[in-house]
Amino acid sequence: MVGGLLLTRPRRLNFTLFRHGARRFSSEIHKTQPIKSILVANRGEIAIRVFRACTELGIRSVAIYSEQDKMTMHRQKADESYLVGKGLPPVQAYLNIPDIIRIAKENNIDAIHPGYGFLSERSDFAQACIDSEIRFIGPSPKVVQQMGDKIAARQAAIQAGVPVVPGTDGPITTAEEAVEFCQQHGLPVIFKAAYGGGGRGMRVVRNLKEVASSFERASSEAAAAFGNGAMFIEKFIERPRHIEVQILGDNSGNIVHLYERDCSVQRRHQKLVEIAPAPNLDPVIRDQMTSDAVRLAAHVGYSNAGTVEFLLGEHGRYYFIEVNARLQVEHTVTEEATGIDLVQSQIRIAEGVTLPELGLIQENIEVKGSAIQCRVTTEDPAKNFQPDTGRIEVFRSGEGMGKLFHM
């Protein structure tokens, strides 16, 4: 992952400056619980990002690492580190909920940050933390489960009055049901895994003869990736813009948005370029979209950081598609464009501090610049750009007059 072109670098709000002042003020209104230590149930760049926030807030940072990752950078950056999932492959080690909870309890950890990927959208992990009296830095288990279920998230959007793409009311489990839907609503359609994301199990179908076979392939891929082959089917919006709205909620019911990102440049349903704010977005549509995101978040009782995603089609019509109930890879461009540190905000919210106490009132949040993030992928062009691995031997960042680049 490499940060890209930054057109304007705004001054970052320094929450450390008013950390103690905010706590004294909040104690007169509601109880806060300072966090003294945070374990990051993740590795790599996101673990290091959270450790940085911990250092800036004076909080002890704790890493976990698999046997294969004992020499990786994230372990070196933490104040403490512990081996997780001994004898397991790397991915399984970081998914070992009982071992992570054991490490946290044995070492008097106050809170766990899941990062992104791995356990970040697992409601059972969030619940396991709470059951062990460890704060989970993220939404409640109920909201994580509801937003992770595309059907439930869609129903919540409908109830909140947020426009959705025409699609199935519930999970589809057979090719016959898929054919029936397509015959009734027409083509093209897109198949999506009902209980997973990240592009796994996605298929766009334009020919009725290919519906059954495409459904079987998509369902099989979803079952392999998520343990459940149920599919969600919706009308496919041709050449839309993909707009996502960053939200923050506290434990007192306050919700704000930090404007939007454009992630329309994708390949195989994977985002390659993120721009904040979305260029050339009609201000009227921006206001409507951000208002809908906040309304949906309030409807489900959302707390902490999250992203509400929309597809923007022709003639200014947009549709809700999903909620990512976690911090996203691309959170950094929103931080650069608004000057607000999202990870520090997550931690302070988990302590019980409210958004107004953090100075995060909607009318005070504004875009102060633009930022672009480019995702660098490892692929083999000789094999139709299939994912590949290898060592980066040479890297040169772009540079030019009047532009600031950083990594």
Token look-up 């595309």 returns 150
Alpha-helical runs (H) found in 14-140: 19-27, 44-57, 73-77, 90-94, 97-106, 123-131
Give the closest residue to 376 by CA, choosing from 261, 242, 271.
271
In this structure, the number of other CB atoms found within 10 A of the CB of residue 125 comes to: 23
pTM for the full predicted model = 0.80
| Extended strands (E) in 357-400 | 371-374, 379-380, 386-387
Structure confidence at residue 20 as a pLDDT band (50, 70, 90)? very low
CA dist 247 and 402 (Å) reads 31
Instruction: Supply the DSSP symbol for 108.
Output: T
Among 75-79, 109-113, 117-121, 401-405, name the one with the lowest average pLDDT. Answer: 401-405
How would you class 325 by CB atoms within 10 Å of its CB: exposed for 0-12, middle for 13-18, buried for 19 or more?
Answer: buried
Give the closest residue to 112 by CA, choosing from 91, 131, 135.
135
* Per-residue model confidence as pLDDT tens digits over 259-298: 999 999 998 778 999 999 999 999 999 999 999 999 999 9
Tell which wins on pLDDT, 165 or 399.
165
Helix (H, G, I), strand (E, B) or coil at 136: strand
Class of domain 32-137: alpha beta
On whether the 166-235 domain is CATH 3.30.1490.20, my answer is: yes
CA dist 233 and 189 (Å) reads 7
Structure confidence at residue 119 as a pLDDT band (50, 70, 90)? very high
Q: Which two tokens stand for residue 197?
A: 């994301």
* Per-residue model confidence as pLDDT tens digits over 53-66: 999 999 999 999 99
Known catalytic residue at 9: no
**So where are the chain's domains?**
32-137, 166-235, 241-405
Backbone angles phi, psi at 273, to 5 degrees: -130, 135
Answer whether 205's CB lies under 8 Å from 211's CB.
yes
Instruction: Supply the DSSP symbol for 174.
Output: S
Same fold, 32-137 and 166-235: no
Give the closest residue to 233 by CA, choosing from 303, 184, 160, 296.
184
Instruction: Supply the DSSP symbol for 27.
Output: H
Of 122, 326, 348, 375, catalytic: 326
Structure confidence at residue 176 as a pLDDT band (50, 70, 90)? very high
- Kindly give the pairing relationship between strand 80-83 and strand 60-65: parallel
Give the closest residue to 233 by CA, choosing from 264, 207, 202.
202
Helices (H) and strands (E) in the chain, counts: 13, 20
Residue 186, by phi and psi: left (phi above 0), alpha (psi -120 to 50) or beta?
left
Backbone angles phi, psi at 255, to 5 degrees: -130, 135
Class of domain 241-405: alpha beta
* Per-residue model confidence as pLDDT tens digits over 340-371: 999 999 999 999 999 999 999 999 999 999 99
Please state the rounded mean pLDDT for residues 216-242: 89
Please state the rounded mean pLDDT for residues 78-88: 97
